[in-house]
Structure 1
Amino acid sequence: MDNHLKEIRIDSTLAYDGSFLKVQRDTVRLPNGQPTTREYIKHPGAVVIIPLLDDGSVLMERQFRYPINRVFIEFPAGKIDPGEAPLACAKRELLEETGYTATDWQFVCTIHNAIAYADEHLDLYLARGLVEGERQLDDEEFLDTFKATPDDLMMWIREGKITDVKTVIGAFWLEKILNETWKL
């Protein structure tokens, strides 16, 4: 159906092999038959957790993000380890970053956040039945957690205080779920 839009890989090389990211450089044939180059980041995928507390608030994080050189307000999230199931990753990341566990997990959606230059995907999960515990941050991980209302999130998105795409999308999903406009 969309074959007239498809690009066909002719050749592929690894342009950069880092400890976390890899950059691929492919030669492709365009739909008009002409060759061109595509460079993109290979990413193992990640999860995003929307932790909804019993009182209706959500558990959020404040974390410095080096590429943008500022602190961001975000939902808890993390990279999927090799061979790890996305839900297992979500449970691990929630505990590590916040100290919380959850008794009820629901898959929300998958998003592709940078389709022009990366193959990264993020699986979003709604976590309920939260139980507080001791967080287990990685040695190189520094973040603060706090509670906010869903209305706060929407206001901060509108004001530009939340610009992280995974958090914006998660907040819009949360609004639809809480209003019972969308069912999981």
Structure 2
Amino acid sequence: MSDSLPGVDDAHLVEVTIAREDLFQGKFLRAVRETVRLPDGGTSIREFILHPGAVMVVPMLDDGRVVLERQYRHPVREVLIEFPAGKLDPGEDRFACIRRELLEETGYTAREWARATEMRLAVGYSDEFIEVWFARGLSRGAQQLDEGEFIEVIAATPQELLQWCAEGKVKDSKTLVAAMWLQNVNSGTWKLDWRPHTL
């Protein structure tokens, strides 16, 4: 497995798909039911959502603040504080997607970029991944929101963001992970490999 620990054999944990059935095909989500062979030879059923993947950016202003968004999320009926993010279009390059999402949702462009990590959001029922990037050297322009998209752009200091996380004002899981990354990057504990905007 690609994320195995060095020198560790995962064969005793791996399930093998032996059949798949489509349950639902929506605009961009697909739900499937798979029959899997378990490590002990038995079988079981796994139902999960197939997702095209997404990207998220932590935009860092020159004054030390970060750019965030407030957006209504209908499934949870709440306005959430989040870092800018969006799903990949079919065949879209991840770096092209993250630049597009930053511009569309916030109006910002960036001089430098650094890839942080790839995270999984809901491993029990979805294959969704989000690739996390940092951006700096920001220049502000106009938002280019999609039709039917309503986003309020805000800025916060890293300390304010962490306080909001501690108080439960930030509930979005990808933003909570990004706040941890931001804290470790700012402290010098974790290093980023910064590249020009063209990579």
TM-score tier by shorter-chain length is over 0.9
Counterpart selection for 2:13 from 5, 22, 27: 5
The aligned counterpart of 1:179 is: 187
Residue 64 of structure 1: SS of its match in structure 2?
strand
Q: What is the 5 A alignment of 1:142-157?
A: 142-157=150-165
Q: What is the 5 A alignment of 1:39-78?
A: 39-78=47-86
Q: Deviations over 1:19-39 (max 9, x none)?
A: 110001101111121111101
Query: RMSD over aligned Cα, in angstroms?
Result: 0.7
Q: CA deviation at 1:10?
A: 0.8
Q: CA deviation at 1:2?
A: 1.1
Q: Deviations over 1:130-173 (max 9, x none)?
A: 00001100002111001100001100000000011110010110
The alignment status of 1:100 with 2:105, answered yes or no, reads no
Q: CA deviation at 1:93?
A: 0.2
Q: Deviations over 1:10-53 (max 9, x none)?
A: 10111111011000110111112111110110001000010000
Q: What is the 5 A alignment of 1:104-183?
A: 104-183=112-191
Inter-partner Cα distance in structure 2 for 1:182 and 1:27: 40
Aligned residue type for 2:155: K
Structure 1 gaps, min length 5:
none
Inter-partner Cα distance in structure 1 for 2:39 and 2:189: 40
Structure 2 gaps, min length 5:
1-8, 193-199
Q: Runs ≥4 in structure 1, deviation > 4 angstroms?
A: none
Q: CA deviation at 1:58?
A: 0.5
Aligned residue type for 1:157: C
Residue 124 of structure 1: SS of its match in structure 2?
strand
TM-score computed with the length of structure 1 as normaliser: 0.98
Aligned residue type for 1:98: T
TM-score computed with the length of structure 2 as normaliser: 0.91
Inter-partner Cα distance in structure 2 for 1:70 and 1:154: 20
Matched residue pairs, number?
184
Inter-partner Cα distance in structure 1 for 2:148 and 2:17: 37
* Identical-residue share of aligned pairs (%): 50
Aligned residue type for 1:150: P
Q: Deviations over 1:85-111 (max 9, x none)?
A: 111100000000000000101001100
